[in-house]
C-alpha cells in the first residue's frame, strides 16, 4: 500500500509504532528520512522507536557466536562410542542468553541433520521446547514430526507437548502426528487397550521408524530437576524410584546409574515409545546441560539410549570425570 494512502487512513498508535520500526530496522532508513517520509519531527521518530521496544513491538536479540569445544566433543565420542557430539565452550556461557545457547546449538544441529522425507520424533520437556523455539523455519519436503510420549499438561506451561510437534512440522513445512493419549493412564489394562487403538498404534509405529529423535534427559537427584520441581510425580512414586536407585529418565522412562531400566508400577501406566525401540532409531540426539544432570547423562550414555549428545563444556567435564571415577 502506498504510504500517503496509509497515512490518510490515520493509523492507530500501534500501527504507527510498527511502521516506524519497520522503516528503521527492516528498510534501513535513518531517523531523519523516516521523519520526512511520515511528516513528523526527528525527535518524534526517536520517541516512537523507544516506545516500540518498550511495548514489545520490536524485540532485539543478540546472538553471540556459538563457540565449540571440539576436543571435549571428540573425547565424549571416543569414550562412549557416540555417533556425534556438540559441546558449547565454557566462555559462551557468559553471554546474557547463556541458557538459550544450548537450545540454539541443538536447533542448528537438528536443522543440519534433517533431510527431505525424514521422520523426526520428539520427547517432552523444557529443553526440547526451547530447541524447537530456536529452530529457524527450514522447508524440507515430505517430512513428518511425531510424538514419542503421551501428553502431560503442566500447570503454568504455555504450550503442551502436542504443540511441539505441530510447531516443528510448521517450520519444516511437513506433517505432524500426536500421540493422543495421557502420559500416565490409570492402570495396565487401560494402557493395553489404548495400545490396540489404531491411531495410537500408528503413531508409535511412525516413531519407531523415525530417522531422528530429539530427547531431553531428566535428573532425579536434585530439587531443581523438572520432575521434582513441577511435581510431575506423586511423592510416593518419587520415593519408589529413588529406592530403585534411579538417576535419570528419557521419555518418562527411568534408569539407574548403569543405564539399566528400572521398572515400577508407574512403568506399566506410561504411554511412550519404549527405550529399547528408541535406541534403535539411527540418530537419537540428547540435549541436556548442568552439573545436576551429569549422572543422568552418564547413565543415558551407558544405556546407549542416545548416540548424539549436545551439552556444554562444564557438564561434559563432569560427565567424563564421573565416568573415570566410577567403576
Give me the pLDDT at residue 227, please: 59
| Contact of 249 with 255, CB cutoff 8 Å | yes
Which residues sit opposite 285 in a β-bridge?
Answer: 214, 308
Among 296, 297, 264, smallest CA distance to 184 is for 264
Among 261, 178, 249, smallest CA distance to 220 is for 249
| CB atoms inside a 10 Å sphere around CB 203 | 22
Alpha carbon separation from 181 to 84, 120, 146, 167, 199 (Å, rounded): 33, 19, 13, 19, 10
Q: What is the pLDDT along the chain (327 residues), one digit of tens a residue?
A: 444 444 444 568 888 888 899 898 888 888 999 999 998 998 999 999 989 888 888 877 656 567 888 999 999 999 999 999 999 987 655 544 556 889 999 999 999 999 999 999 999 888 899 999 999 888 889 999 999 999 876 554 444 556 889 999 999 999 999 998 988 888 899 999 999 999 999 999 999 999 999 999 998 765 445 556 556 666 777 777 777 788 899 999 999 999 999 888 888 889 999 999 999 999 999 999 988 899 999 999 999 999 999 999 999 999 999 999 875
Give me the pLDDT at residue 2, please: 44
- Render 205-263 in DSSP notation, one character per residue: HHHHT-SEEEEE-EE-SSTTSHHHHTT-S-HHHHHHHHHTTEEEEETTEEEETTS-B--
Rounded CA gap, 206 and 88, in Å?
A: 32
User: In this structure, what C-alpha cell is assigned to residue 15?
Assistant: 500501527
Strand-by-strand arrangement of the 246-250 sheet = 218-219, 246-250, 253-256
End-to-end Cα, the chain, rounded Å: 70
Give me the pLDDT at residue 217, please: 94
- DSSP structural state of residue 9: T
Among 104, 111, 67, smallest CA distance to 89 is for 67
Among 267, 323, 316, smallest CA distance to 289 is for 316
Give me the pLDDT at residue 8, please: 46
Non-local CB neighbours of 83 within 8 Å, separated by 6+ positions: 77, 283, 307, 308
User: In this structure, what C-alpha cell is assigned to residue 145?
Assistant: 514430526
- Render 190-216 in DSSP notation, one character per residue: HHHHHHTSHHHHHHHHHHHT-SEEEEE
Q: Can you give the length of the chain in residues? A: 327
Amino acid at each position: 500500500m502506498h504510504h500517503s494512502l496509509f497515512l490518510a487512513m490515520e493509523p492507530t498508535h500501534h500501527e504507527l509504532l510498527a511502521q516506524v520500526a519497520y522503516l528503521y530496522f527492516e528498510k534501513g532508513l535513518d531517523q531523519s528520512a523516516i521523519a520526512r517520509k511520515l511528516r513528523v519531527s526527528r525527535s518524534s521518530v526517536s520517541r516512537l522507536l523507544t516506545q516500540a521496544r518498550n511495548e514489545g513491538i520490536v524485540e532485539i536479540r543478540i546472538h553471540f557466536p556459538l563457540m565449540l569445544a571440539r576436543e571435549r566433543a571428540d573425547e565424549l565420542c571416543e569414550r562412549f562410542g557416540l555417533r556425534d557430539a556438540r559441546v558449547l565452550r565454557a566462555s559462551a556461557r557468559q553471554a546474557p542468553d547463556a541458557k538459550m545457547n544450548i537450545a540454539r546449538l541443538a536447533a542448528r544441529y537438528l536443522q543440519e541433520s534433517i533431510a527431505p522425507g525424514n521422520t523426526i520424533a520428539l520427547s517432552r520437556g523444557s529443553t526440547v521446547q526451547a530447541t524447537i523455539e530456536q529452530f529457524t523455519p527450514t522447508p524440507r519436503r515430505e517430512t513428518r514430526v511425531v510424538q514419542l510420549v503421551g501428553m502431560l499438561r503442566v500447570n503454568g506451561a504455555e504450550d503442551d507437548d502436542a504443540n511441539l510437534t505441530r510447531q516443528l512440522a510448521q517450520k519444516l513445512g511437513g506433517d505432524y502426528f500426536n500421540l493422543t493419549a495421557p502420559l500416565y493412564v490409570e492402570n495396565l489394562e487401560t494402557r493395553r487397550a489404548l495400545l490396540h487403538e489404531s491411531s495410537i498404534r500408528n503413531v508409535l509405529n511412525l516413531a519407531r521408524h523415525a530417522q531422528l529423535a530429539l530427547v531431553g534427559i531428566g535428573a532425579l537427584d536434585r530439587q531443581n530437576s523438572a520432575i521434582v520441581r513441577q511435581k510431575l510425580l506423586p511423592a510416593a512414586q518419587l520415593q519408589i524410584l529413588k529406592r530403585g536407585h534411579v538417576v535419570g529418565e528419557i521419555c518418562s522412562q527411568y534408569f539407574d546409574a548403569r543405564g539399566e531400566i528400572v521398572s515400577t508400577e508407574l512403568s506399566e501406566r506410561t504411554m511412550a515409545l519404549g527405550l529399547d525401540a528408541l535406541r534403535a532409531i539411527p540418530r537419537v540426539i540428547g540435549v541436556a546441560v548442568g552439573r545436576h544432570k551429569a549422572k543422568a547423562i552418564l547413565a543415558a550414555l551407558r544405556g546407549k539410549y542416545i548416540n548424539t549428545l549436545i551439552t556444554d563444556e562444564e557438564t561434559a567435564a563432569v560427565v567424563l570425570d564421573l565416568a573415570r571415577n566410577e567403576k
